A and B are shown apart, each in its own frame.
Chain A
Amino acid sequence: MKAKKTNFTLRVTIPALTLLLGTGLLVAGGPQIPVEQNFTRVWQTPEGEATDEIPTPVTSSDCVFLNEPQRFTEDRDRGYALRTAAMNRVVKWTVSINEPSVAGGDPTLIPRRNFVDDEIFTRMAAANIQSAPLTADEEFLRRVTLDLTGRIPSAADVTDFLADSNSFKRDNVVDALIASPEFTDKWTLFFGDLYQNNVNSQHVSRGIQGRDAFYVYLRDSIAQNKPYDVMAREMITASGDPWLVGQANWPVGNTISMGPAQDTYDGAAVDLSSMFMGINTVDCLLCHDGARHLEQVNLWAATQTRRNMWGLAAYFSRTVMMRPAQTAMTGIVVSDNTTSTVDYRLNTTNGNRTPRQPIGGVNSIAPRYPFSGSTDPGVGVNNGETYREAIARQITEDLQFSRAAVNYIWERMMGEAFVSPSYAFDLSRLDPNNPPPAPWTLQPTNPQLLDRLARDFQSNGYNIRRLIGLIAKSSAYQLSSSYPGTWQPGYVPYYARKFVRRLDSEEIHDAVVKATALTQSYTFAAPSVLQPTAWAGQFPDTQEPRSNGAVAQFLNVLGRGDRDLNPRRYDGSVLQGLTMLNNTFVTNRSRASGSTPTAVTTLLQQTSDPETIIHRLYLNTLSRRATQAEIDAVMPSFQQLGNNVAAEDLQWVLLNRLPFLFNY
């Protein structure tokens, strides 16, 4: 393969003797710096100080590994952060990579489709940064089909789109994809990840029945384009048997085992604030105040107290979850205790959190909204509301609820969130009209655009399809992933090109199946009520198909995680390489003669013209036509080995071509 290792130039600016280079490049073998062809890496400080040559070989004693946390998949674009304990600060170091040039653009000349483009290209122009050009039709179609439906386009989709002379064809295809049933699959999977729907986790056992019911709830909600605030209120206030009431699996998922009931109230506060508000610091604050802990992490959280968060958790202090004693098995039934007079009690010394003890003579905390964006900050529950109805109302009124949702979806579509990690919002660093004091800066990459998108989402009925369509139709989304000139990590917040993502595990499965037209039906074992499916994008969790261990293993190797402690991953592994090269899931689909016909079988029956075969296999698999060079490269094998063998080989090659695994 192409990963020839030759020397490249690696230069870094180093303060005195302290070499702080830690890179993912320092892999096996320690002393050798693995190297990539065609790139020059120039290390520089943010101030652009002069660089020094790194002494080579760099040894492990000079270096500390730079990890690539799974959320930060774009880190080679973003540069690296290095921290010195001596300086007790983090300095961002950047690496620039000289890439081959492509024709680029003055951002003021990029057509503006909607307000997304106004914000993106105005900001880019003001910073004097060049924009990547708009992407070509083939690339656009593959990109948007994957992003909106989780599948690759068919060969006919590609050729039809290329032949379409309608000047609004990109908008039209976005509308068509958003209206397609596969759109529901893709975004049901997305929300299933967000709300962590599974059969078992460390703390929760929903059972197959609960998992199914939650899946069906999410699927139906997406299919009906239910307003997102309605979804949130339904989940937060859900009551009943979660085997029957799908949304009741959200509160069941809040359960924290091995501790007093307050641990589970805290679990609900954490899930509520991270999943719906993008605020993960509540987890910290439920053990200790922000002061003296979070000053340098989160400006808002530093001002918050544990008591404030108890006020948030108190909204869940009258939620009752129990498995009823009766003969028929059910899930853990959720209800509200409407007669209780007890709130969140400060009387624990064990469990998963630091002790909760009376403060200033107060031994019980009443609900009180801790976030700033409510219309009635500091207020708790209105007359006639249950506690959970109150918190559901208050968070869905809060602009932050809208910001968090927009940020999640923007990240999914654009590859780079406004606020990253997307659950790490700092409420004191969001308002573009009220920036935080130095040295803090506004947190989002584009505060104005996040604000506008959030208000737009809020004032248009929390319409998920509308939001996704707005993004997909923007020129910003449709930029090429190639960049004119030298790409700088500092360009990332400007979205000056499209960012690349590796496909989801399920997307890879479905792409292999769709490209080769060899489907198999997976059944869901009893007591599941779900219909068999051929598409991983329709699996209700990330452990299916339990009926086919080999395929489940294929999906696991590609990093789908477990919606619990093992998050979805996008980084590679040797096992992934071996799997794509040799797993019969892939190789059986490259055969012309198997028990079931594949796309290759059918194609060979339809034509004997090698060039047609080559084009079709490229269209089927990589969703584009072959270049002349690509045709010339494989033509000899068609001539020497015959169509059957050459076509099988080519199908296998295309499934293993690197671009197949990526959306770009």
Chain B
Amino acid sequence: MKSIVNRRVFFKVAATGVTGCLVSPMELFPQQQAPTLPQLSVQNTARNVIFVLLPGGPSHVDTFDLKVGAWTPANFTASTVNGVDWPSGLMPQLAQQLSLNRAAVLRSCLAPALVHNLLQTWAQIGRSPASVTGSIAPNVGSVVALEKETERVSNQPVPGFLSLNGGTTIAGPGYFPGRFSPFDVAPNANGITNITPTNVDLARFNRRYGILAAADAAHAGTSPISRKLEEMSDFYSSAYSMMNDTRVANAFRFTANTDGFRYGTGTAQTGFGNACLTARNVLQANLGVRYIQINLGGWDNHSNIYAGGANGQGGIYGPARQMDAGLANLISDLAALPGSRGTMLDDTLIVVRGEFGRTVGPLTGQAGRDHHFTFSTLIAGGGVRGGRAIGSTTADGAFVDNPGWSVGRPIYSEDIAATIYSAMGINYRTTRWDDPLLRGFQYVSTVGTSYVGEPIDELFV
């Protein structure tokens, strides 16, 4: 545990140009007092985060919170692993990781609403998008990237927040500067798009770049736009350094038919498997990335959730099997790599969740499941003690009957965000005073004087 001294409460930097009268010697500021902070302890057990978002809303009772009924397909092979009910036929490789005490399940999670977009964003920004700071709130990954920027050392050219297969679901950096944006990559065996020259060979690229550098250097000093130019010039320079750093290109590249297949279906790559493999490689290369978000959709199974029957390729089988192979190989590989505090798995907090769960019991008339409030989160690594479930739902999975943690209520997105911050050694009760609303941006927001998110410390003991 790390003790946080709230130095940030003492010196804060505010954004400029708030009212447009910047010659005024003194600009007034909201005096709303932050709640008095008790001495805060954070876990500080993780160096990196991999946040896997499962847009669509996986059926919790078919995956992480298995509830067996007449509807359950035989090939799910319902079993109990370390006391946790688990579909070992659907997700055999994750079953093994669970049995090796490398993953835990939070079964008492609750979504406050059932709207895909809204809840997907909610999961990523750790607050309601409709709340006061919802419109400016950064992705939790942007906050982690900003907080950890001071730990960056030379020779770490990649931005702190990497997004793999983010698509249009990825939440952005909010009011934070662009350099804390998700660095969005569609992973594939050949590496990052745009990191290698296109249409020309490297020699010609370098010649062109030389002409470019000379041209803009000649321009410097007399350019009417020199200062804004500089900022963009820095990004161009960083881009060029990344292109010329073989570690970067190599980290994003892999061998399709060995590792790619292993993380995929065994005989083919999958998008999610490629993302997990890339996440492993990038963290291992230690290029400055501290937070990785991976999105895996396909879970909105309103109809034909068990389609495909025995072969099981349709419905939930597709995403579940992609997830099983990709995630289990990621966990297992990280557990085999040396880290700063044991293995790389010990260094890396992995959080896997959808935006909500799905209806329980027998299937609907469409042979599917609709949106439902309760859901589960899989957590691994980063100091979390695995091989168990925290909290539980009623026999059918419809309601939380035991929150399973000291706060004594169901777990919300706000709590998961606080847990991530705590594991990363970040004061989750930070209030920044640089937000454009002049309101103070809280990592975990308050209602009145109460914080609405608390870290789930039970995971770490």
- Using Cβ atoms and an 8 Å threshold, which residues of chain A touch B313? none
Are A3 and B16 CB-contacts (below 8 A) given A67-B176, A630-B215, A633-B218?
no
Query: Is the Cβ of A64 less than 8 Å from the Cβ of B8?
Result: yes
Q: Which residues of the partner chain A approach B196 to less than 8 Å between Cβ atoms?
A: 582
Whether A577 contacts B235 by the Cβ 8 Å rule is: yes
**Minimum C-beta distance from A656 to chain B (A):** 5
- A99 beta carbon closer than 8 Å to chain B: yes
The stretch of B96-104, B147-155, B326-334 in contact with A is B147-155
Q: Which residues of B contact A225 (CB under 8 A)?
A: none
Contact A79 B22 (CB under 8 A): yes
B178 interface hit (Cβ, 8 Å): yes
Could you pull out 28 A-B pairs where Cβ atoms are within 8 angstroms?
A1-B212, A1-B237, A2-B217, A30-B152, A37-B221, A65-B434, A66-B15, A67-B177, A72-B16, A78-B17, A81-B17, A85-B9, A91-B25, A92-B24, A202-B130, A258-B130, A283-B132, A352-B130, A439-B26, A441-B24, A445-B20, A502-B232, A574-B159, A577-B240, A581-B197, A582-B243, A658-B216, A658-B233
Check A581–B128 contact: CB distance below 8 A.
Answer: no
Enumerate chain A residues within 8 angstroms of B192, measured Cβ to Cβ.
Answer: 578
Is A591 engaged at the interface, CB distance under 8 Å to the other chain? yes
A634 neighbours in B (Cβ, 8 Å): 211
Contact of B230 among A36, A60, A421, A582 (CB under 8 A): A36
Most buried by B among A24, A444, A664: A664
Q: Which of B122-174 contact A (CB under 8 A)?
A: 128-132, 134-136, 146, 149-154, 156, 159, 168, 171-172, 174
CA distance A419 to B152 in the complex (A): 37
Which chain A residue has the least Cβ–Cβ distance from B18? A81
A268 at the interface (CB under 8 A from B): no
Q: Are A200 and B117 in contact (CB under 8 A)?
A: yes
Q: Is A22 among interface residues, defined by CB-CB distance under 8 A? A: yes
Interface of chain B residues 430 through 449 with chain A (CB within 8 A): 432-436, 438
CA distance A60 to B181 in the complex (A): 21
A interface residues with partner B (beta carbon < 8 Å): 1-3, 18, 20, 22, 24, 27-30, 32, 34, 36-39, 46-47, 60-61, 64-72, 74-86, 88-92, 94, 97, 99-100, 139, 200-203, 256-259, 283-284, 287, 293-297, 352, 416-421, 424, 426, 439-445, 480-482, 489-490, 492-493, 500, 502, 543, 557, 559, 561-562, 565-566, 569, 571-584, 587-588, 590-591, 629-630, 633-634, 637, 645, 649-650, 652-653, 656-659, 661-662, 664
Compute how far the CA of A439 lies from the CA of B198 in the bound complex, rounded to whole angstroms: 58
| A258 and B112 contacting across the interface, CB-CB below 8 Å | yes
Interface-forming stretch among B43-51, B200-208, B299-307? B200-208
Contact, CB under 8 Å: B118 / A86: no
Chain A residues closer than 8 Å to B172, beta-carbon distance: 561, 565-566
Q: Which residues of A contact B149 (CB under 8 A)?
A: 27-28, 30, 65
* 0/1 string, B5-48, CB within 8 A of A gives 1: 00111111111111111111111111110000000000000000
Give the residue name and chain of the A residue nearest to B138 (CB). A67
A577 near B26: Cβ-Cβ < 8 Å: no
Closest 3 CB pairs of A and B: A577-B239, A571-B178, A60-B150
Q: Give the distance in Å from the alpha carbon of A600 to the alpha carbon of B3 in the complex.
A: 62
Contacts of A70 in B (CB 8 A): 175, 436
Q: How far is the CA of A295 from the CA of B8 in the complex (A)?
A: 24
For this complex, into which size category does the number of interface residues on chain B fall?
35 or more
B152 near A29: Cβ-Cβ < 8 Å? yes
Contact status of A630 and B218, CB under 8 A, knowing A3-B230, A34-B234: yes
Name the contact of A81 in the complex, choosing from B27, B195, B238 (C-beta under 8 A).
Answer: B27
Closest CB in chain B relative to A512 CB, distance in Å = 14
Task: Evaluate contact between B10 and A89: CB separation under 8 angstroms.
Answer: no
Excluding A572-B232, A577-B239, 10 further A-B contacts by CB distance (< 8 Å) are A69-B434, A72-B16, A81-B14, A202-B117, A441-B24, A574-B242, A575-B181, A577-B235, A645-B204, A658-B225
User: Complex: how many Å from CA A297 to CA B14?
Assistant: 13
Q: Is the CB of A489 within 8 A of B22?
A: yes
A579 neighbours in B (Cβ, 8 Å): 194
Q: Is B273 interfacial (CB-CB < 8 Å)? A: no
Task: Let me know if A29 and B240 touch, CB within 8 A.
Answer: no
CB pair A653 B212 closer than 8 Å: yes
Q: Which residues of A contact B128 (CB under 8 A)?
A: 352
User: Which has the most chain A C-beta neighbours within 10 Å: B136, B154, B204, B436?
Assistant: B436
Asked if B227 lies at the interface with its beta carbon under 8 angstroms from chain A, I say yes
Once A1-B216, A67-B15 are accepted as A-B contacts, the answer to whether A481 and B224 lie under 8 Å apart by CB is: yes
List, in ascending order, chain A residues with CB within 8 A of B179's CB. 27, 571-574
Q: Which residue of B lies closest to A83 (CB)?
A: B14
Which residues of chain A are within 8 angstroms of B152 by Cβ–Cβ distance?
Answer: 28-30
Q: Which residue in chain B gives the minimum CB-CB distance to A650? A: B211
A65 in contact with B197 given A20-B13, A75-B16, A492-B22 (CB within 8 Å): no
In the complex, whether B288 has a CB less than 8 A from a CB of chain A is yes
* B29→A493 contact, CB < 8 A: no
Cβ-based interface call for B2 (8 A): no
Contact B228 A2 (CB under 8 A): no
Closest to B115 in A: A257
> Contact at A649–B204, with CB atoms within 8 Å?
yes
* A-contacting residues, B216-268, CB 8 Å: 216-240, 242-243
CB-based contact B235/A92 at 8 Å: no
Contact B240 A581 (CB under 8 A): yes
Residues of B within 8 A of A297 (CB): 28-30, 438
Report the nearest A residue to B32, measured CB to CB: A293
Q: Does B184 contact A (CB under 8 A)?
A: yes
Point out the residues of chain A lying under 8 angstroms from B434, CB to CB: 65-67, 69
Query: Residue B93 at the A interface, CB < 8 A?
Result: no
Say which residue of B134, B209, B228 sits within 8 Å of A502 (CB atoms). B228
Find the A residue at minimum CB distance from B13.
A22
A82 in contact with B239 (CB, 8 Å): no
- B405 at interface by CB-CB < 8 Å: no
B92 to chain A, nearest CB (A): 34
Do B181 and A573 touch across chains, with their CB atoms under 8 A apart?
Answer: yes
Please name all residues of chain A whose beta carbon is closer than 8 Å to the beta carbon of B197 when the two chains form the complex. Answer: 581-582, 587
Please determine whether A659 and B135 come into contact, CB atoms closer than 8 angstroms. no
In whole angstroms, what is the CA distance A283 to B434 when docked?
Answer: 19
- A256 contacts across to B, CB distance below 8 A: 130
Question: Most chain-A CB neighbours within 10 Å: which of B12, B28, B130, B134?
Answer: B130
* Across-interface contacts of B113 in A (CB, < 8 A): 257-258
Q: Chain B nearest CB: distance from A572 CB in Å?
A: 4
- A649 touching B118, Cβ below 8 Å: no
B211 and A637: CB pair below 8 A? yes
- A630 CA / B15 CA spacing, docked (Å): 39
Known: A36-B230, A66-B13. A662 touches B194 (CB 8 A): no
Q: Say if the beta carbon of B4 comes within 8 Å of chain A.
A: no
In the assembly, what is the distance between CA of A561 and CA of B25, in Å?
35
Residue B214 interfacial (CB < 8 Å): yes
- Contact A258–B118 (Cβ < 8 Å): yes
Instruction: Report B-chain residues with C-beta under 8 Å of the C-beta of A139.
Output: 224
Q: Using Cβ atoms and an 8 Å threshold, which residues of chain B touch A258?
A: 112-113, 115, 118, 130
| Complex: chain A residue closest to B237, CB-CB | A3
Which of B17, B31, B146, B221 is close to A420, meaning CB atoms less than 8 Å apart?
Answer: B17
Assess whether B121 is interfacial by the CB under 8 Å rule.
yes
Q: How far is the CA of A658 from the CA of B233 in the complex (A)?
A: 7
Cα of A659 to Cα of B215 in the assembled complex, Å:
11
Q: Name the contact of A89 in the complex, choosing from B28, B112, B135, B146 (C-beta under 8 A).
A: B28
Residues of B near A490 (CB, < 8 A) are: 22-23
Q: Determine the distance from Cα of A562 to Cα of B171 in the docked complex, in whole angstroms.
A: 10
B199 contacts chain A at the CB level, 8 A cutoff = yes
Q: How far is the CB of A463 from chain B (nearest CB, A)?
A: 26
Q: Is the CB of A92 within 8 A of B22?
A: yes
Q: Which of B149, B228, B230 is most buried by chain A, counting CB atoms within 10 A of its CB?
A: B228
